[in-house]
Amino acid sequence: MTDKKGLAGLASQLEPEEGAPHPLWRAMGGVLGLVETVVPGLVFVITFSLTLNPWLAIGISVAVSVCFTAYRLIRRQAATQALVGLAGVVASAVLALMSNRPEDNFVVGMLTNAGYGLVFLISILVGWPIIGVVVGLIRGEGTSWRQNRHHKRVYTGVTAMWLFMFVLRLAIEYPLYASGNVAGLGVAKLVLGLPLYVPVLALTWLIVRSLYREKTAPAK
- pLDDT value at residue 196: 92
**Segment 135-153 mean pLDDT:** 88
Instruction: Provide the residue range defining the domain that includes 61.
Output: 3-216
Better-scored residue on pLDDT, 140 or 160: 160
Cα 197 to chain centroid distance, Å, stands at: 6
**Band of the pLDDT at 76, cuts 50, 70, 90?**
confident
- pLDDT value at residue 75: 79
**Segment 1-19 mean pLDDT:** 52
- pLDDT value at residue 1: 46
pLDDT reading at 138 higher than 70? yes
pLDDT reading at 155 higher than 80? yes
Average pLDDT value for the chain: 84
The whole model's pTM is what? 0.81
pLDDT reading at 26 higher than 90? no
Please count the structural domains in the chain: 1
Percent of the chain with pLDDT over 90: 49
> Of 82-91, 150-159, 187-196, 197-206, where does mean pLDDT reach its minimum?
82-91
